[in-house]
Amino acid sequence: METIRLTTAQALVKFLNQQYLHVDGEEFPFVEGVFAIFGHGNVLGIGQALEQDAGHLKVIQGKNEQGMAHAAMAFSKQMLRQKIFAVTTSVGPGAANLVTAAGTALANNIPVLFLPSDTFASRQPDPVLQQVEHEHSFAITTNDSLRAVSRYWDRVVRPEQLMTSLIRAFEVMTDPAKAGPATICIAQDVQGEAFDFDERFFVKRVHYHDRKLPTDRELQGAAELIKSSKRPLIVVGGGAKYSQARDQLISLSEKHNIPLVETQAGKSTVESNFKNNLGGLGVTGTLAANRAARQSDLIIGIGTRYTDFTTSSKTAFNFDTSRFLNINVSRLHAYKLDAFQVVADARATLEQLAPLLGDYVTEFGHEIQRLKDEWSVERARLQRVTFHEQDFDPEIKGQFTQDVLNEYAGTLNTELPQTTALIAINETIAPNSVVISAAGSLPGDLQRLWNPTVSNTYHLEYGYSCMGYEISGALGIKLAEATKDVYALVGDGSFLMLHSELITAIQYNQKINILLFDNSGFGCINNLQMENGGGSYCCEFRDSDNQILNIDYAKVAEGYGAKTYRAYTVKQLKEALADAAKQSVCTLIDIKVLPKTMTAGYDSWWNLGVAEVSDREGIQQAYEHQEQQRKLAKQY
Ligand SMILES: Cc1ncc(C[n+]2csc(CCOP(=O)(O)OP(=O)(O)O)c2C)c(N)n1
Ligand SMILES: O=C1C[C@@H](O)[C@H](O)[C@@H](O)C1=O
Ligand SMILES: [Mg+2]
């Protein structure tokens, strides 16, 4: 056996350079690079190995571990899970900062390799700086908190363990049915320890994204279900996007007149201007999609996890009359809602299903077009919303008085409604630009109002809806799609939560554009509490004298080196967008919008857990409403 003497960290870097993915006849390196923040836990181990020979890996210095991990995840999501970044952190707080991002990657089924350092295997310096101590166990470190948010988790305390650990991690990350974050915690001292590694460990390894084919039984069952239904409906989930099933979805939908509705992860698999695409489904859905869902007798879920938003807490469909057909590479998701299961790749299944459906046509007739037209009228109305200082009736009704709305208009110096601003952006930026968002009121507005006309240009993280993903993620998308303009749509709350990777983007000349919607508060949560009978409590941004905060975010970003703009009107917004598009540096547009001017719900309900006991009549009513809705909802 030929061996090579390397440190554990050097062996890790050498191995990462040799991993390839094979998809539909093409083969390419799977690991694009490494995001790094060095501390005492990794600088002399993984840091030394990367400095000595990083190979083809791009090494990018992050500014916050969560932020750089979000960037890594967004890169992989935008690359349809076909390429990844690894993320190296120090021990203790650096590792702990990964937990939120790992949860985000896990909820969204996105592969990322997390490499937090761990405390000393030898225990000689016990307790090392940043080590937590438990009386009952030496074996628990900060990194155990990552077990709950990793698809694969391991601790390496001897150099030779690295080999089996890495092989398992790559098996998990390159399997579409299991894809998610893999976490390998390598003890600080072990990173620098040497071992005679078997040379064969470093030979080029090709992992295959083979399309799992449906069985005959699955295909026959699916075809029979469709042909015996009158009004089937396709839910396009993230899995359909990752499987690149756009063309097959369009041809199936067109030939058999089947409406398409979308989840947040599935949106932009098929462009919004496709005639049978009725847009977002569920709590953040359109009237068109939600109405079609209720009329349907067969729900064909393609690559969807059926979250409570998508299923409106299991009231979106008519469960008494509808059947379910789930096409999913994951058995976990295929089993949901008592569906007939096809555990297979979305694109391959649609290809093989097509010849079995013959001349079958649904009974939707012109109803799909009618629903789409009806929604277009509503969208046009939302575009034209205009603020008045008297008798203004915002989309979120009955919560703020006119006086409070005027106070916001005065303090923020704006009359701009959020829906108007969003549609103006959709009309102005280049159609092949990629938009990213994650939390607050924007995901709902985007899923309803954003019309992507180019495939894979809508990037929503709504599995974890993690505030702070937006700007970090924009950097990841830019690394994946260098030639496209990238726009992070972010609330003021999310911006304040985390925007450190804006500096990384500036530092590495990765131009991203930030569209900051400032309504001076945690707007959507304020809506939620007031809608359910509560007061406006701890969600507006007000100072100790109850004055609304008016933060100059443009100035903040200018300080980092971004080109910035302020927008209080549609005209200013469009001018800023036009100028921002010409810049080569990162940009930020500080858009002041009025609270309560985001979209409201359309025929949907969300189970929230309203207080059963309260002195407030509004809360009592909300509780009653919740109980009625729960009775209508599917129990499991
Ligand atoms: C990390 C994280 N913490 C808390 C939440 C809960 N949360 C969801 S939306 C929201 C407020 C968002 O405020 P902002 O970004 O200003 O958006 P707006 O609703 O005002 O449009 C909060 C606190 C979350 N989604 N993520
Ligand atoms: O609690 C939440 C409510 C949603 O409306 C919001 O989009 C999401 O970010 C969230 O966490
Ligand atoms: Mg806000």
Q: What is the CATH number of the domain that holds 350?
A: 3.40.50.1220
Mean pLDDT calculated for residue range 516-533 = 98
> For position 42, what pLDDT does the model report?
98
Ion ligand 3 residue ranges (Cβ < 5 Å):
491-493, 519, 523
> For position 328, what pLDDT does the model report?
98
The answer to whether 141 touches 118, Cβ cutoff 8 Å, is yes
Answer whether the bond into residue 127 is a cis peptide, omega within 30°. yes
> For position 576, what pLDDT does the model report?
98
Torsion of CA 93, 53, 80, 111, to 10 degrees: -40
Residue 331 included in any domain: yes
- 58 and 183 assigned to the same domain: yes
Shortest-distance Cα residue to atom 4 of ligand 2: 440
> For position 219, what pLDDT does the model report?
98
Residue 486's pLDDT band, with cuts at 50, 70 and 90, is very high
Q: 593 CB under 6 A from ligand 1? A: no
Q: Using the atom order of ligand 1, give the atom closest to the CA of residue 492.
A: 16
pLDDT in tens, 287-307: 999 999 999 999 999 999 999
Q: Using the atom order of ligand 1, give the atom closest to the CA of residue 497.
A: 1
pLDDT in tens, 318-329: 999 999 999 999
Task: Please tell me what DSSP assigns to residue 401.
Answer: -
Instruction: State the helix-helix crossing angle for 8-16 and 161-173, rounded to 10 degrees.
Output: 30
Boundaries of domain holding 629 = 606-636
Mean pLDDT calculated for residue range 1-24 = 98
Check: complex ipTM more than 0.90: yes
Residue 633 included in any domain: yes
> For position 98, what pLDDT does the model report?
98
Q: 446 CB under 6 A from ligand 1? A: no
What percentage of residues in the chain have a pLDDT greater than 90?
100
Collapsed DSSP state (helix, strand, coil) of residue 394: coil
**H-helix or E-strand containing 49?**
helix 46-52
- 88 and 147 assigned to the same domain: yes
Assigned token pair, 503 = 């500096």
Residue 368's pLDDT band, with cuts at 50, 70 and 90, is very high
Shortest-distance Cα residue to atom 13 of ligand 1: 522
**H-helix or E-strand containing 246?**
helix 246-256
Q: Which residues are annotated as a binding site?
A: 65, 492, 519
- 322 and 399 assigned to the same domain: no
> For position 260, what pLDDT does the model report?
98
At which of 146, 179, 208 does a domain end? 208
| Residue 388: partners with Cβ closer than 8 Å, 6 or more residues away | none
> For position 235, what pLDDT does the model report?
98
> For position 423, what pLDDT does the model report?
98
> For position 596, what pLDDT does the model report?
98
Residue 357's pLDDT band, with cuts at 50, 70 and 90, is very high
In testing the pocket of ligand 1, which one of 70, 449, 467, 591 has its CB within 8 Å of the most ligand atoms? 467
Assigned token pair, 628 = 């009625």
At which of 161, 180, 208 does a domain end? 208
Mean pLDDT calculated for residue range 134-154 = 97
User: How many separate domains does the chain show?
Assistant: 4
- 7 and 144 assigned to the same domain: yes
- For residue 48, the domain's CATH number is 3.40.50.970
Q: Alpha-carbon distance 27 to 407, whole Å?
A: 58
Residue 379 included in any domain: no
> For position 527, what pLDDT does the model report?
98
Q: 604 CB under 6 A from ligand 1? A: no
> For position 28, what pLDDT does the model report?
98
> To 5 degrees, how large is the angle CA 5–CA 10–CA 15?
100
Residue 30's pLDDT band, with cuts at 50, 70 and 90, is very high
In testing the pocket of ligand 1, which one of 469, 522, 526 has its CB within 8 Å of the most ligand atoms? 522
Q: What number of other Cβ atoms are within 10 A of residue 57's Cβ?
A: 18
The answer to whether 181 touches 111, Cβ cutoff 8 Å, is yes
Residues with CB under 6 A from ligand 2: 439-440, 443, 465, 524
Q: 421 CB under 6 A from ligand 1? A: no
- 520 and 631 assigned to the same domain: no
> For position 199, what pLDDT does the model report?
98
> For position 431, what pLDDT does the model report?
98
At which of 324, 343, 374 does a domain end? 374
Q: Using the atom order of ligand 1, give the atom closest to the CA of residue 442.
A: 21
Q: Using the atom order of ligand 2, give the atom closest to the CA of residue 525.
A: 3
Q: Using the atom order of ligand 2, give the atom closest to the CA of residue 443.
A: 7
Q: Alpha-carbon distance 177 to 175, whole Å?
A: 5
pLDDT in tens, 56-106: 999 999 999 999 999 999 999 999 999 999 999 999 999 999 999 999 999
Q: Alpha-carbon distance 607 to 282, whole Å?
A: 12
The answer to whether 535 touches 551, Cβ cutoff 8 Å, is no
Residue 343 included in any domain: yes
> For position 350, what pLDDT does the model report?
98
pLDDT in tens, 381-401: 999 999 999 999 999 999 999
Residue 600 included in any domain: no
* Distance, CA of 569 to chain centre: 29
Collapsed DSSP state (helix, strand, coil) of residue 153: strand
Order of strands, sheet of 587-592, starting from the edge strand that comes earlier in the sequence? 458-460, 434-437, 486-491, 513-518, 587-592, 563-567
31: CA distance to ligand 2 center in Å? 32
441: CA distance to ligand 1 center in Å? 8
**What is the full DSSP assignment across 83-100?**
-EEEEEE-STHHHHTTHH
150: CA distance to ligand 3 center in Å? 30
pTM over 0.90: yes
Mean pLDDT calculated for residue range 200-216 = 98
Q: Which residues are annotated as a binding site for thiamine diphosphate?
A: 65
Residue 597 included in any domain: no
Residue 285's pLDDT band, with cuts at 50, 70 and 90, is very high
The answer to whether 289 touches 372, Cβ cutoff 8 Å, is no
Residue 305 included in any domain: yes
